[in-house]
Amino acid sequence: MTNPIRVAIVGCGRISDLHQMGYRGRDDAKIIAVCDTNKAHAKKKASEWGVGKVYSDYKQVLEDKDIDVVELLTPHHLHCPDDHSGSRGRKHISVQKPMALSAAEADMMISAAIKAGVIYGSMKLLFITPAMRAKAMIEAGEIGEIRAIRMHINTVQVILLECTALVLALAFQ
């Protein structure tokens, strides 16, 4: 067996608990670091998850040569600057949706990843079967005027699939 992919969770809010589940019990990937601007909160998550490294500054994550992948779970307005830094730090990146606040930001993030030669992944909830079916029904005029959309999915399953996809992408690069 090859060495596991070493992951840092950046942003220890509520969603981080679900993301860490995607790595729990895996032989091919392991969370080795957590980072949050609230260091006490990061320490709490590290303790709960059995993670040894705790950072309160994202730059420390980028300087850590042991980290292969950064799971960006930061507030949306930070995705583009954090993502750019991650690419420049030669870290593979998985970012929580939404990827960016604009198409221009998304283009910059993708370009930075390509230029750095890193794998970039973002949750693609818009392309899961229920969303695609709803889009087709709307386009076909099968339902009336859209006033609101509510969709319930099993977030844990989606996150587990995303973690698996990222691990597979890195394994076959």
pLDDT, averaged in runs of 10, over the chain (173 residues): 86 88 84 96 96 94 92 79 63 80 82 82 57 75 73 53 53 50
C-alpha 149/C-alpha 114 separation (Å) is 34
Task: Show the tokens assigned to 44.
Answer: 């709490």
pLDDT for the residue numbered 127:
46
pLDDT for the residue numbered 100:
78
Prediction pTM value: 0.71
Determine how many CB atoms are found less than 10 A away from the CB of residue 167: 19
C-alpha 146/C-alpha 131 separation (Å) is 14
Task: Show the tokens assigned to 129.
Answer: 């079967």
Tell me the chain's radius of gyration from C-alpha atoms: 17
DSSP 66: T
pLDDT for the residue numbered 12:
94
pLDDT for the residue numbered 105:
82
pLDDT for the residue numbered 126:
46
